[in-house]
Amino acid sequence: MAKVELLIHLAVTVTCLTISCHSLSVQPEQIHLSYGDDATKMAVTWSTPDPTNDSFVEYGINGFSQVVMGRMIKFVDGGTGAVVRYIHKAVMTALKPGAKYVYHCGSPQYGWSEVFYFTNRLEDANWSPRIALFGDMGNINAQSLPRLQKDAEMGMYDAILHVGDFAYDMDSDNGSIGDQFMKQVQPIASILPYMTCPGNHEERYNFSHYKNRFMMPGDEDGHSMFYSFDLGPVHFISVSTEFYFYVQYGILQLFRQYEWLKSDLAAANKNRDKRPWIITFGHRPMYCSNNDHDDCTRYESLVRVGIPFIEIGGLEKIFYENGVDVMFWAHEHSYERLYPVFNRKVYNGSITDPYLNPKAPVHIITGSAGCQENHDGFIPDPRPWSAFRSDDYGYTRMTVINATHLYLEQVSDDKGGQIIDKMMLVKERHGSYS
């Protein structure tokens, strides 16, 4: 037994002399993966109702040849019940690019989870990652979840992007709704990296459930709620749109995110020979043609242009100047594909093909995975920048084919998995539009 395992084993044995280990509820649950800060790492997060004092992940290509010790966080829900749950976080290291791994989490003293498998990402930029994207999925009316699970088990994706709003809501019933949701998504999140950004439904107690339940690359403690990662020929950037709306938690976070964005985008642009695509995702969109009076329906969206009287702008200008190719959003319980747009003006690539070398970023709203709030309707006449819209339940699939071609399609759960929209984006040159 390794020295560190022996010390932990002894500590747990002493604890069990005074507390009956068999009376504790310590079975690992709510298991989900996320990318580490490079291609040799994969993070694992799980929960136990009671403390275990040790958090291990055993993993390997052929059996459990490697072990890593994580950390346990005592998380107290902010509700009236002050319910305590224990969240465990660990990072598997020394992973081989493209290799298939087996793993389980828990401890030798308290027991292990079931066995799961995942395929590690390739470090090479010359491969074609396949991703499922959606937002606004609750544990009630999660229409897209069965088909997403089937897709994931068939090996259709390399990663999942959940673009904000989980469970509806994670804090409800003293956090038990969040527990139920994380158990629901475990079949897909335990075999694929489940990458996230915060939405407005995570706001309670200063986003405490979001910050504690997820572990994203470069933001392992959850305090920032923004981060980036590389996948194939893509540099992905996850932002929090909620800083524009919940300034009571500190306007400093908005400034920190904006300064970080400038630095991250500058570095990504210098690396475009290797990773030409820059793709962002954040919860609340800049544009939409819905009829619910949300921020995106306004002439000057806060996300787009920023908060008045504060000397910091919104996201549209900085994304345009840095040549962001695609922006994914949710929040609206619908799907909408936009023509290339900047400052409310359409900048199509050509008369015959708007997505051939477009002169502005492409926006996709994918918030129709299903929740108890049902659909959001549309205004009767779409705006000039609205190319396609649907209030069918569903989700988006994306394949980044190579350095110049990116394919998107929208799956309708209402129509039995039918593809109701698709787009091929061709960028023969990546970079600033200005």
pLDDT for residue 18:
40
Domain 130-426 sits in CATH at 3.60.21.10
Q: What is the pLDDT of residues 153-200, one digit of tens each?
A: 999 999 999 999 999 999 999 999 999 999 999 999 999 999 999 999
Global pTM reads 0.94
Check if the beta carbon of residue 232 is closer than 8 Å to that of residue 285. no
pLDDT for residue 23:
62
User: CA-to-CA distance for 60 and 68, rounded, in angstroms?
Assistant: 11
pLDDT for residue 19:
42
> CB neighbours of 308 closer than 8 A, spacing ≥ 6?
none
Nearest Cα residue to 118 out of 97, 132, 137, 134: 97
pLDDT for residue 309:
82
How large is the angle between the packed helices 145-153 and 176-189, nearest 10 degrees?
30
Regions in the chain scoring below 70 on pLDDT: 1-23
List the chain domain ranges: 24-119, 130-426
Domain 24-119 has CATH 3.10.129.10: no
pLDDT for residue 22:
52
Q: What is the pLDDT of residues 16-67, one digit of tens each?
A: 434 444 567 899 999 999 999 999 999 999 999 999 989 999 999 999 999 9
User: CA-to-CA distance for 194 and 196, rounded, in angstroms?
Assistant: 7
